[in-house]
Structure 1
Amino acid sequence: MKVVLFVIIIFFIFAGYFTGTLFSGNPDKVAEVEGAEITNAQIQQRVDNVRRQMGDQFEQQYATEASQQLLRQQIKEQLISEQVLRANLTKAGLTASEQQIKAWAREFPAFQIGGVYSADQAKMILAQQGWSEERFRQFARQQIAQEQLEQGVGASNFALNFEVEAYYQLQEQTRDVGYVRVAREAFSDSVDVSDSEVKEYYEQNQTQFEQPEMVNLRYVRLSLTELSQDLMADVSNEQITSFYEQNKANYQDPAEILVAHILIDSSVEDAQSKAQSLLSDIEQGADFAELAKEHSSDTFSGENGGQLDWVDAVPTSDDNPTGTGWVPEFEAAALALENVGDVTDLVESQFGYHIIKLVDKKAADVSPLENVQDEIRQQLALEQAQKIFFEKQAILNEKLFEYGDDLEKFAEQVELEIQETGLFSKDSATGIADNPVFLEKAFSASILESTEVSDMIELSQDDIVYLTVKDYQPSQVQPLEEVKQIVVDTLKEEKIAEATKAYAEQVLAELEAGGSAEQLLATKELSWTESEALKARGSSVQFDLSNAIFALQPPKEGEVIRAVEPLFNGDYAVIEVQAVQYPDPSTMDEATRKQIAQRLANVNAQAELQGLMKTFREKSEISE
């Protein structure tokens, strides 16, 4: 499930619909496309989305300023491309109706469970992304317009009969061939490498044996997570009980309500009259859920009988600024309902006219101590750890000048352990050294050229280190004795490949001279194979050998084509193509003809779409 959600999340982040209208204020403009601004605020919002979805991994992958700038540049280019497409779709008059959006949402894979649309799944996905229904409608509208463009391009592309028939003949051709596969293993014991060859190769390929610079660092680390874990065992049951009693309100689940509603959007003609008519039908016994499904402008809740999610029955206030999350008029009316089944009068909001029904409710409930004691223990340990963390951080920064030349005394000031990374390069870093910030600092001039303890380095907001160099090895060529076996193995591989190819070419030469090459093949316990009407697909011939056979040009009438071809695993093949038979296109069944025609049309359409996008960008007014 996590993998599925991750794929869905990534789809929303990078295929999402973000327009200038979704942002307020006056952010700095970084680009403009056809009069629509691309702003730093838009870029930052998408960066924040990436950060939220990646969690701790974001800080690891984008830990340095350079990596964050690259991400922002990539997002900027993406926003420009999206706006280019959006502007040109608008120019082309491509849009979507409400019915198309509703149908598209029902087919959207992220909103389906087992291939069937689920309103609850749709709500969950939108909530995870922080998307309103309106934002999704905008997204869907653009996707539908883009699909219309693709369908239009696809509809204008087709394959001519001669193209279909030529493709069919190439695909279904058969060949009369002879071949032998010369395995490289047959020569593995027949090659030797001398010391002089090893020395010569080593001297001519010094860069292959260059060892990157390496460093061994001593460091002290102050980590809030480690402090908190160490303090967990010190939190007593008495402290937990006392904290629980003093903060019991924090462990109380507030009363909850579940409501359904019917919305008639303000844009609907005679919206108030229509809403009033529906309310009258409900008062006369009509099924609320069926009316919601048929008439509500709220597409997603309508599919579920108008039902919304459970919410805390707590009104918006200074102490609870989020409240139910509903607009004030809706919230006040919904919270005023007392009995399950009660229905409000018409409620007017900025969205239109609502009819609200109380579907269910739950009384407030206090979580027992045993259910929350682990959470309290962690909280108390964390609070104490935070206090200690900031105290020690302040001491370290204060004492850095005094003990900056002595890591032992520096660490003693706050009773921290001195740790060591061991020698590592930029490519072999593990553990803490693999942290991008740590790795970047480890090989910086400020660290390598100093004997002092470094300034504070923030691996994250609550994880800091101070470094000093214990050992440094500059980039150097490894001695021959350390890499001799690598050289020997490399030369053997080259000689085996050369011997395999040379042998295959000997076989080819004998065939070209009119011989059978049987005696030569026998020396390696090989035999020549003849195959008539060999097919490119579905034959018993190995895939790489079959590809080599059908990659050769067909011979002229009465001639043969012979060649030595390298294969995927380092073997060589000696191939003789004697004849090629092409099927009669008139024997092609209609299903195959349609399949090939569609395949060729799709290829043509994709090429045309790529060209169209390039043209869109070239002809759009873009300023940066």
Structure 2
Amino acid sequence: MLQAIRDHAQGWIAWVIVGLIILTFALFGIDQYARGDKVVVVAEVNGEDITANQFLTLYNRQQQRLQQQFGDLYDQVVKDEELRDQVLDALIESEEIRQWAKNNGMVISDQQLAAAIHEADVFKEGGKFSQKIYEEVLLRNGLNVARFEHEQRQFLSENQYRNISQSSAFATNAEVQQLALLQGQERNVNYLRVDQRPFLKTVTITDEAVAQAYQKDIAQYVEPEKVSVDYIELSQAKLAEKVPVTDAIIEGYYAENKAQFTLPEKRQAKHILISLESDSAEAKAAAEKTIAEIQAKLAAGEAFEELAKTYSQDPGSASTGGDLGTFEQGMMVPEFDEAVFSMKEGEVSQPVKTEFGYHLIKLVKIVPKQAQPLEKVKAEVTKQYQSQEAERQYFELLEKLNTIVYEQSDSLEPAATATGLEVHTSELFSRQGGSGEVLSNHKVINAAFSDDVLKSRLNSASIDLGNHHSVVVRVNKYQDARQKALEEVSASIKEELTRKAAIAESAKLGEALLAKVLAGESPESLMKDGIEWNTVGWIARNAQNLLPQMVSEAFKTPKPVDGKASWTKFALTTGDTILLQVSDIKTQPLTAEQQAPLKNAFAELFANSELEARLADLKAHSEVVKKEVYKTVK
């Protein structure tokens, strides 16, 4: 079979199919032969090249996957430089593993490879591997099977390396027991909170301190470069609002598209479901026996609805006599749907097998399709007509817009005049973007700061914002980065210094209060404005009545010794100081059932740590050279 595979197909996209065979790691571990006369190298690993072809293959695949995942948000969520770094790091790691496997004689046999391919559901027919389907799938995807086999072998080799590293990890009973004791531990806690806000009114920040802070962090007070752009916005939705309509137009459109405004046929059905506990012959025989018993009672004249209440194992409909209500064709699973829409009113079906079990179906009523009168759907007809006309206008105007902004690239006015659209001027905005849908779009920001638009002062090409919404831009005004004067930022600096000083005073007071409680003073006696004592009681590690930070600190606090409470001091993210008391500790023993997932979690933790350590060692002993070209290669 492997030789036949070698003889018939081609392509890297086979990783899509590999993903169905193994797991999501199919995105990595790729080794692509360079094609063409000129080989561009993006990295070297111990003298072995990683080519631009390899890089771009994985980069494009990852990019497509992320575009499908994030849709129109892709440009805002995914940073290209970070994606390129991740792709190159994955290829480097893959190459390091490949070299280790080669040096240590680890190979994937033909039998292992064949077994992996045979197990792929995408190549099966009737539950068995089909050479014909295999070849058809690869051919349909333009795949080179010899290359597919090569890459699959390498993937299996890398997966084997990871399994070797992870499969040796295990957790001992003593470790699990220790973790169980820690997991089941509870602590009796209370705390004293020192509010930092009262100090905001008492601390004093001098002008000299503000000036010193400004000079110390002067680089933080630089206003970034900004641009203002002229832009023409083209939107199908806005065009639709201006499409003129008359009663004659709407009547004509309705007549031509009447089928779109016709309610489809619906059917009301009832059913009796007998579930299958398994696919075993015994389970099927038992279900069929019950179905036969129900059919006999139906034949004897018993009511379908009463039998449904007695026998049906559908919890959603049994109590209502099996009633499923009315539904359109295509709403049910195929086998059920086909049966219902081939029956006559009042008819009871033969047993219909679906993924849920066996059904007896009674067709109660047929609601024929019905054309809705224009008066009832006029608003919908109007909206659809305007949208259709606007879509046609949109693409006509977009083509004209692209042509003119390219041919007359020094101004947007000719394009605006020719298309009847307006030129808008934006506010100044930085590379972080501005306000509104247009100026916050990552594509628009990139275009505005591109060399062609910013430096050469050319019109941009049309920028697709999604949903038939485009924009073209050109720079109207450019403002270079500038150092903000002290006067512009003194207020914000003073506010920040005041806050820091208040937090410091809170911490200072907290230190003094801690000394007092450790000396034996009652925490309650220390309460006054801005200082409050809170009694909490017993908490577990998953406690919801305290902030997560406080729960974490509570379980870091040393155990009480000789009945004397332990204390810890820390600052909340709000700036308040907390003096937390742990007065007692107890452990709720975990059952064997509760401990089982702990053992699995411990083993998984050790396995991942082992793998990370091995990969880190590979990296430490590899000589890796990254070429700058990977940042820009396309």
* Aligned residue number for residue 72 of structure 2: 59
Deviations 1:496-523 (A, max 9, x none): 44445456656778999x999xxxx99x
Deviations 1:412-436 (A, max 9, x none): 1111101122112244522121233
Task: Give runs of aligned pairs for residues 165-244 of structure 1, distance below 5 A.
Answer: 171=186, 183-185=195-197, 187-231=199-243, 234-244=244-254
State whether residues 536 and 546 of structure 1, in contact with CA within 8 Å, keep that contact through their aligned partners in structure 2. Answer: no
Relative to structure 1, the CA distance from residue 342 to residue 599 in structure 2 (aligned partners, 3 Å threshold; closer, same or farther) is closer
Deviations 1:5-64 (A, max 9, x none): xxxxxxxxxxxxxxxxxxxx9962258479547689xxx999999999x9xx84235678
Deviations 1:493-551 (A, max 9, x none): 33344445456656778999x999xxxx99x98899999x995679xxx9999998997
Relative to structure 1, the CA distance from residue 65 to residue 554 in structure 2 (aligned partners, 3 Å threshold; closer, same or farther) is closer
Q: 2-side partners of 1:310 and 1:371: how far apart?
A: 22
Q: 1-side partners of 2:179 and 2:353: how far apart?
A: 65
Relative to structure 1, the CA distance from residue 268 to residue 463 in structure 2 (aligned partners, 3 Å threshold; closer, same or farther) is same
* Aligned residue number for residue 346 of structure 2: 341
Q: 2-side partners of 1:323 and 1:562: how far apart?
A: 63
Q: 1-side partners of 2:83 and 2:443: how far apart?
A: 16
Amino acid at match of 1:60: L
Instruction: Report SS of the residue matched to 1:217.
Output: strand
Q: Shift of the alpha carbon at 1:220?
A: 0.3
Give the counterpart of 2:605 among 590, 598, 611: 611
State whether residues 276 and 346 of structure 1, in contact with CA within 8 Å, keep that contact through their aligned partners in structure 2. Answer: no
Instruction: Report SS of the residue matched to 1:452.
Output: coil
Matched, 1:422 2:416: no
Q: Shift of the alpha carbon at 1:394?
A: 2.1
Q: Shift of the alpha carbon at 1:352?
A: 10
Give the counterpart of 1:375 among 342, 359, 380: 380
Instruction: Structure 2: give runs of 5+ residues left out of the alignment.
Output: 1-10, 28-59, 91-169, 541-545, 613-634
Amino acid at match of 2:14: D
State whether residues 158 and 598 of structure 1, in contact with CA within 8 Å, keep that contact through their aligned partners in structure 2. Answer: no
Relative to structure 1, the CA distance from residue 446 to residue 461 in structure 2 (aligned partners, 3 Å threshold; closer, same or farther) is farther
State whether residues 536 and 550 of structure 1, in contact with CA within 8 Å, keep that contact through their aligned partners in structure 2. Answer: no
Deviations 1:433-485 (A, max 9, x none): 12333233333333322311111211125111110011223444322221111
Relative to structure 1, the CA distance from residue 597 to residue 435 in structure 2 (aligned partners, 3 Å threshold; closer, same or farther) is same
Q: 2-side partners of 1:427 and 1:278: how far apart?
A: 69
Give the counterpart of 1:285 among 283, 301, 309: 301
Q: 2-side partners of 1:324 and 1:527: how far apart?
A: 63
Instruction: Give the TM-score of the pair, scaled to structure 1.
Output: 0.57
Deviations 1:386-434 (A, max 9, x none): 2222221222222223321121122111111011221122445221212
> Identity of aligned pairs, percent?
24
Relative to structure 1, the CA distance from residue 276 to residue 157 in structure 2 (aligned partners, 3 Å threshold; closer, same or farther) is farther
Q: 2-side partners of 1:582 and 1:192: how far apart?
A: 42
Relative to structure 1, the CA distance from residue 66 to residue 281 in structure 2 (aligned partners, 3 Å threshold; closer, same or farther) is farther
Deviates more, 1:466-475 or 1:350-359: 350-359
Matched, 1:483 2:483: no
Q: Report the count of equivalent residues.
A: 473
State whether residues 176 and 595 of structure 2, in contact with CA within 8 Å, keep that contact through their aligned partners in structure 1. Answer: yes
Give the counterpart of 1:436 among 426, 431, 442: 442
Matched, 1:256 2:287: no
Matched, 1:407 2:409: no
State whether residues 216 and 420 of structure 1, in contact with CA within 8 Å, keep that contact through their aligned partners in structure 2. Answer: yes
Q: Shift of the alpha carbon at 1:184?
A: 3.9
Instruction: Report SS of the residue matched to 1:207.
Output: helix
State whether residues 219 and 419 of structure 1, in contact with CA within 8 Å, keep that contact through their aligned partners in structure 2. Answer: yes
State whether residues 560 and 584 of structure 2, in contact with CA within 8 Å, keep that contact through their aligned partners in structure 1. Answer: no
Relative to structure 1, the CA distance from residue 255 to residue 480 in structure 2 (aligned partners, 3 Å threshold; closer, same or farther) is same
Relative to structure 1, the CA distance from residue 180 to residue 189 in structure 2 (aligned partners, 3 Å threshold; closer, same or farther) is same
State whether residues 263 and 372 of structure 2, in contact with CA within 8 Å, keep that contact through their aligned partners in structure 1. Answer: yes
Give the counterpart of 1:28 among 14, 18, 35: 14
Task: Give runs of aligned pairs for residues 75-86 of structure 1, distance below 5 A.
Answer: none
Q: Shift of the alpha carbon at 1:598?
A: 8.6
Deviations 1:560-579 (A, max 9, x none): 9888754664345789x8xx
Relative to structure 1, the CA distance from residue 189 to residue 281 in structure 2 (aligned partners, 3 Å threshold; closer, same or farther) is closer
Q: 2-side partners of 1:365 and 1:206: how far apart?
A: 73
Q: 2-side partners of 1:362 and 1:45: how far apart?
A: 48
Amino acid at match of 2:258: K
Q: 2-side partners of 1:323 and 1:196: how far apart?
A: 74
Deviates more, 1:412-421 or 1:564-573: 564-573
Relative to structure 1, the CA distance from residue 292 to residue 477 in structure 2 (aligned partners, 3 Å threshold; closer, same or farther) is farther
Q: Shift of the alpha carbon at 1:378?
A: 0.9
Q: 1-side partners of 2:588 and 2:420: how far apart?
A: 79
Deviations 1:205-249 (A, max 9, x none): 123223233221110011111100122xx2112222233344434
State whether residues 404 and 410 of structure 1, in contact with CA within 8 Å, keep that contact through their aligned partners in structure 2. Answer: no
Instruction: Report SS of the residue matched to 2:231.
Output: strand
State whether residues 159 and 597 of structure 1, in contact with CA within 8 Å, keep that contact through their aligned partners in structure 2. Answer: no
Instruction: Report SS of the residue matched to 2:402.
Output: helix
Task: Give runs of aligned pairs for residues 510-589 of structure 1, distance below 5 A.
Answer: 553=558, 566=571, 569-572=574-577
Deviations 1:554-609 (A, max 9, x none): 6766999888754664345789x8xx9758x8xxxxxx956x66998488357337
- Compute the RMSD of aligned alpha carbons: 6.1
State whether residues 159 and 598 of structure 1, in contact with CA within 8 Å, keep that contact through their aligned partners in structure 2. Answer: no
State whether residues 216 and 470 of structure 1, in contact with CA within 8 Å, keep that contact through their aligned partners in structure 2. Answer: yes
Instruction: Give the TM-score of the pair, scaled to structure 2.
Output: 0.56
Q: Shift of the alpha carbon at 1:348?
A: 9.5
Matched, 1:366 2:371: yes
* Aligned residue number for residue 147 of structure 2: none
Deviations 1:303-349 (A, max 9, x none): 98666674557xxxxxxxx799846x974x655543x3223567899
Instruction: Report SS of the residue matched to 1:218.
Output: strand
State whether residues 262 and 302 of structure 1, in contact with CA within 8 Å, keep that contact through their aligned partners in structure 2. Answer: yes
Instruction: Structure 1: give runs of 5+ residues left out of the alignment.
Output: 1-24, 78-152, 314-321, 586-591, 619-624
State whether residues 564 and 574 of structure 1, in contact with CA within 8 Å, keep that contact through their aligned partners in structure 2. Answer: yes
Q: 1-side partners of 2:23 and 2:180: how far apart?
A: 46
